[in-house]
Amino acid sequence: MSASLEKGINALKKEVDSTVGAFFSSCVNCGMCADACLFYTESPSPSRTPINKTEPLRRIWNQEYTLTGRIGKMLGLAKPVDHEFLEKWETLVYDSCSLCGRCSMVCPVGIDIALMIRKTREGMAAAGHAPEGLIGAVTRSVTIGSPMGVKLPALMAQISHVEKDTGLKIPMDKEGAEYMLLLSSMEIMNFPEFIEAIAKIFDKVGVSWTISSEAYEATNSGIQIGVADIAAELVQRIVDAAEKLKVKTVISPECGHAYMAIRWDGPNLVGKAFSFEVKHILEILDEFRKDGRLKISGKETQKLTYHDPCQISRRGGVIDQPRNLINLFTENFVEMPEAGKMNWCCGAGGGVSSNERADELRLKVFQRKKDQLDEIHPDGIISACSNCRIHLEDGLEEYNMDIPLLSLTETLAEHLED
């Protein structure tokens, strides 16, 4: 990734389309997005107002694509887009935004602010103003195949543990399987129980599935940092593997942005509609439930709640499925205030967790989640994103709260009828 200001400006220009034009034309600087953003409410600095984070893109749009902006530029009135300016914006665009999209839901004129911040990142990265932590994750994704540097032998070691524990075979590279499972590095390293849960559930339901040894990584740091070429390359690896194995459906695991990356951005990044379907694991499990293929026994009696991962619920549209599934195995399920599409982000999505520089801030803004949890005092929190899960655990520890985190898929697997 050789970066330059020129590349940055060109990348921003490439991001301008009619949505950007309509959005910027409509902003009246009302500031309501600030009230919707946990990075502002928990650490109030006016510069963290979501719409302000899009300023690099706004300047380019205004100066290059509007009549008044072009006249202003000719008269020498245009505000500069230079390294000094972009550098100032780097922490706003990367450290102070998890792309959670809550701002996009409250904007009275309807601006999809999170989308515009995502677009702004394309210019920031191309100009060389992306955080070290994310650059490292991207480099590892391209060279090793995983943002955390997880190599195939590490996955195979975890798989052999799972096989020993369950007595079930994890089908690798099985051609013609119905489902191809993707995993996040976080799951491979920290939560191999997820693989175990999938093996048990899919065995009980009786479907054929596989993991590709060539494309098992679901996450896409190219999207988080905002480099479309790299994001496309990472998606292409999955497309190639899915086509090679002739699978019907690719499963996005318990990871928020991976779902956004492969389900919604993927085909647009590679410039081709997929020949297979992409579904989130929660969608697959809910289909099993609907078809009566999930036999569940026993109910959790403790008070449980569900943390909606932003990219799965608000940005991804998978909101009812987790609740349908949770109802199968809980009898005391309680929603947090503002749950569902308006849920508050844990604070670590959108690449924030890969960016060590943002560690302090992400724990500070966790206060928002704490407040939400304090309203209902649950005995456990279920989620469906291992990034949320790790950060929630971090945050709870930081705030001395002792609430266990549960994976939806894993908890469901524990309740399978024998």
Query: Can you name the residues that pair with 180 across neighbouring β-strands?
Result: 210, 250
**Shortest approach of other proteins to residue 275 CB, angstroms?**
11
Q: Does 317 bind other proteins (CB under 8 A)?
A: yes
Q: Does 404 bind other proteins (CB under 8 A)?
A: no
Residues in the interface with other proteins (CB under 8 A) total: 62
Query: Of 267, 303, 334, 399, which one interacts with other proteins (CB under 8 A)?
Result: 267
Query: Can you name the residues that pair with 416 across neighbouring β-strands?
Result: 296
Q: Does 319 bind other proteins (CB under 8 A)?
A: yes
**Order of strands, sheet of 405-407, starting from the edge strand that comes earlier in the sequence:** 304-307, 380-383, 405-407
Three-class DSSP category at 110: coil
Q: Does 2 bind other proteins (CB under 8 A)?
A: no
Three-class DSSP category at 306: strand
Query: Of 118, 129, 263, 369, which one interacts with other proteins (CB under 8 A)?
Result: 263
Query: Of 10, 66, 139, 166, which one interacts with other proteins (CB under 8 A)?
Result: 66
- The answer to whether the CB of 177 falls within 8 A of the CB of 247 is yes
Q: Does 324 bind other proteins (CB under 8 A)?
A: no
Q: Does 75 bind other proteins (CB under 8 A)?
A: no
- The crossing angle, in degrees rounded to 10, of helices 193-205 and 281-290 is 30
Q: Does 277 bind other proteins (CB under 8 A)?
A: yes
Q: Does 265 bind other proteins (CB under 8 A)?
A: yes
Q: Does 273 bind other proteins (CB under 8 A)?
A: yes
Site for other proteins in 190-219 (CB under 8 A): none
**Shortest approach of other proteins to residue 87 CB, angstroms?**
19
Three-class DSSP category at 185: helix
Query: Can you name the residues that pair with 172 across neighbouring β-strands?
Result: 211
Nearer to other proteins, 2 or 29 (CB): 29
**Shortest approach of other proteins to residue 170 CB, angstroms?**
28
Nearer to other proteins, 131 or 256 (CB): 256
Of 82-90, 225-233, 290-298, 314-322, which segment contacts other proteins by CB under 8 A?
314-322
295 Cβ contact list (under 8 Å, min separation 6)? 204, 416, 417
Nearer to other proteins, 115 or 381 (CB): 115
Nearer to other proteins, 3 or 334 (CB): 334
Q: Does 290 bind other proteins (CB under 8 A)?
A: no
**Shortest approach of other proteins to residue 393 CB, angstroms?**
26
- The answer to whether the CB of 413 falls within 8 A of the CB of 195 is no
Site for other proteins in 40-59 (CB under 8 A): 40, 44, 46-47, 49, 51-52
Q: Does 104 bind other proteins (CB under 8 A)?
A: yes
Query: Of 86, 93, 100, 107, which one interacts with other proteins (CB under 8 A)?
Result: 107
**Shortest approach of other proteins to residue 203 CB, angstroms?**
28
Over the range 361-385, which residues count as b (16 or more CB within 10 Å of their CB) and which as e? bbbbbbbbbeebbeeeebeebbbbb
**Shortest approach of other proteins to residue 213 CB, angstroms?**
26
Window 145-174: contact mask with other proteins (x via CB under 8 A): ------------------------------
Site for other proteins in 7-36 (CB under 8 A): 16-23, 25-32, 34-36
- The answer to whether the CB of 339 falls within 8 A of the CB of 308 is yes
DSSP assignment, residue 211?
Answer: B
**Shortest approach of other proteins to residue 283 CB, angstroms?**
9
Task: In whole angstroms, give the CA distance from residue 222 to residue 234.
Answer: 8
- The answer to whether the CB of 175 falls within 8 A of the CB of 245 is yes
Given the rule CB under 8 A, which residues bind other proteins?
Answer: 16-23, 25-32, 34-36, 40, 44, 46-47, 49, 51-52, 65-68, 104-112, 115, 263-268, 271-274, 277-278, 313-317, 319, 337-338, 341-342
